[in-house]
């Protein structure tokens, strides 16, 4: 009986504890979690390890720029890319007056002048690391951008985060203390040239050339050893007749005398080689051997490895000065293809600078719709062909302008619409000038205005 009372007393205490965690109008609160399946545990581990790593060793971001400094082929490929890609960048404010554009040009020029060589450095970062990493730091008074800081790509790490139910990759900078500091997405730009699926990291363009670069490095090391050992013109072999043993001379003394005799010959010959003359008695046979008399096999191997480096760097050997059966026509095609590739290299730089310039001008109080940017004209290997193309384009533009003016003269469009067609914001005049008459048009021979709109029937040249 006492046992039952004790049991009832214990149950009463348990019920009292449960009542503290139970609402009268709802289900009891669970004190322990349910058993989770392995899939959920795996998902939790992945969320815990939310740092995102590229599929290649992240140390490559630090290794490749250093290799570019000491590898001639990569250095030349990078230099070619930067020199040909940087044709100058011009910014234009869309939706702004001409006067505002002129004032903005001064502000943009001052911003970039405070960061000399910025475009070249950004192009180099993209060409070697496969990504652009830059932070626009505003002034304390928020009166413009004070600094455009290039953040080394090797110091950037991404962490997967969930914002509003969606995954995003948040950029962090690894600083000298080893800690990760989150970068402000309103100021920071990370523009990757190429990316793998589900990875925010840019792929270094030279990553596939590393093995061939290492082979080349080993080859250069062997050449250096040969040059140090045999010199540029080969080596000499001197065959001297062995002197006979002296009477009463034992074998040990005889061997020591032979060694001293050869060492003396070596030292004397070294001194005479420096003067360019070797002279001796007829008991010495001098032979000269070269290490470069037949290097056809070596040249073929070296050329093959150079071509592999060029392929890995995505540049044709012709652009590196190699004339491996390169014709002028082939070189022109290769150059044109390389110029087309530069548009991809420029794009991250253009996007990042447009964003920084947009932020700078808006902080200064400028009002406009958006910013556009345009690179300068690309170099050409065929000036005559380009001149003919420019002439044809100018003639086409002239015909288009005359066509638009003829539409104004015919009363089909107004001056403001014509100005927009020609790339201006609005027309300077409110009425067409008297000189613009339908009878004077030479471009449009006949236009019919029907219910379904304007249909051009014929155009005279």
Cβ(327)–Cβ(316) below 8 Å: no
Cα–Cα distance measured from residue 207 to residue 128, given in angstroms and rounded to the nearest whole number:
9
Cβ(270)–Cβ(263) below 8 Å: no
pTM above 0.85, yes or no: no
Question: Alpha carbon of 98 to those of 79, 371, 373, 424: distances in Å?
Answer: 37, 14, 16, 10
Assigned token pair, 307: 């071509």
Q: Give the DSSP H/E element, type plus range, for residue 267.
A: helix 251-275
The span from the first CA to the last CA of the chain, in angstroms, equals 119
Task: With CA atoms as reference, report the closest residue to 210 among 67, 373, 389.
Answer: 67
Cβ(82)–Cβ(357) below 8 Å: no
Per DSSP bridges, beta strands 180-182 and 131-138 are unpaired
Question: At 268, phi and psi to the nearest 5?
Answer: -65, -40
Cβ(238)–Cβ(265) below 8 Å: yes
Task: With CA atoms as reference, report the closest residue to 125 among 149, 160, 141.
Answer: 149
CB neighbour burial string for 211-248, b if at least 16 within 10 angstroms, e if fewer = ebbebbeeeeeeeeeeeeeeeeeeeeeeeeeeeeeeee
pLDDT at 202: 93
Q: For 296-351, what is each residue's pLDDT tens digit? A: 667 778 888 888 888 888 888 888 877 776 677 777 888 888 888 899 999 999 99
pLDDT at 7: 47
Cα–Cα distance measured from residue 41 to residue 63, given in angstroms and rounded to the nearest whole number:
37
Query: What residues in the chain have per-residue pLDDT under 50?
Result: 1-3, 5-8, 10, 14, 17-18, 20-21, 23, 26, 28-32, 45, 48-49, 438-461
Cα–Cα distance measured from residue 8 to residue 368, given in angstroms and rounded to the nearest whole number:
80
- Per DSSP, the three-state class of 240 is strand
CA 9 to chain centre: 76
pLDDT at 105: 94
């Amino acid at each position: 009986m006492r046992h039952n009372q004790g049991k009832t007393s214990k149950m009463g205490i348990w019920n009292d504890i449960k009542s503290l965690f139970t609402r009268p109008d709802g289900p009891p609160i669970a004190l322990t979690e349910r058993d989770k399946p392995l899939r959920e545990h795996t998902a939790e581990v992945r969320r815990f390890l939310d740092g995102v790593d590229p599929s290649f060793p992240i140390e490559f971001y630090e290794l490749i720029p250093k290799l570019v400094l000491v590898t001639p082929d990569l250095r030349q490929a990078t230099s070619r890319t930067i020199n040909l890609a940087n044709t100058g960048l011009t910014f234009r404010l869309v939706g702004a007056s001409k006067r505002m554009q002129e004032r903005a040009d001064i502000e943009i020029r001052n911003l970039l002048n405070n960061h000399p060589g910025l475009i070249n450095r950004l192009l180099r970062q993209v060409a070697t690391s496969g990504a652009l990493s830059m932070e626009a730091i505003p002034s304390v008074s928020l009166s413009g951008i004070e600094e455009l800081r290039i953040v080394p790509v090797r110091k950037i790490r991404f962490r997967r985060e969930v914002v509003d139910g969606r995954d995003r990759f948040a950029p962090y900078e690894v600083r000298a203390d080893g800690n990760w500091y989150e970068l402000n997405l309103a100021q920071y730009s990370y523009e990757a040239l190429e990316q793998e699926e589900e990875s925010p990291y840019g792929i270094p363009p030279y990553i596939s050339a590393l093995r061939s670069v290492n082979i080349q490095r080993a080859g250069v090391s062997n050449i250096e050893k040969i040059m140090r050992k045999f010199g540029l013109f080969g080596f000499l072999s001197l065959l001297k007749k062995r002197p006979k043993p002296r009477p009463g001379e034992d074998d040990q003394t005889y061997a020591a005398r032979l060694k001293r005799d050869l060492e003396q010959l070596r030292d004397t010959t070294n001194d005479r080689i420096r003067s360019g003359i070797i002279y001796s008695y007829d008991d010495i046979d001098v032979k000269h051997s070269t290490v470069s008399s037949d290097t056809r096999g070596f040249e073929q191997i070296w050329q093959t490895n150079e071509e592999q480096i060029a392929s890995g760097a995505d540049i044709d050997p012709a652009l590196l000065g190699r004339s491996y059966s390169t014709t002028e026509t082939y070189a022109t095609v290769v150059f044109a293809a390389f110029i087309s590739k530069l548009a991809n290299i420029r794009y991250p730089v253009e996007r990042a600078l447009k964003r920084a310039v947009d932020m700078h001008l808006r902080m200064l109080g400028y009002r406009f719709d958006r910013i556009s940017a345009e690179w300068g004209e690309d170099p050409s290997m065929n000036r005559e062909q380009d001149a003919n193309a420019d002439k044809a384009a100018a003639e086409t533009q002239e015909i288009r302008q005359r066509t638009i003016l003829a539409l104004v003269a015919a009363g089909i469009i107004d001056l403001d619409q014509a100005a927009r067609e020609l790339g201006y914001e609005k027309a300077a005049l409110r009425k067409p000038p008297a000189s613009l008459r339908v009878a004077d048009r030479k471009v449009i021979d006949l236009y019919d205005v029907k219910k379904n709109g304007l249909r051009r029937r014929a155009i005279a040249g």
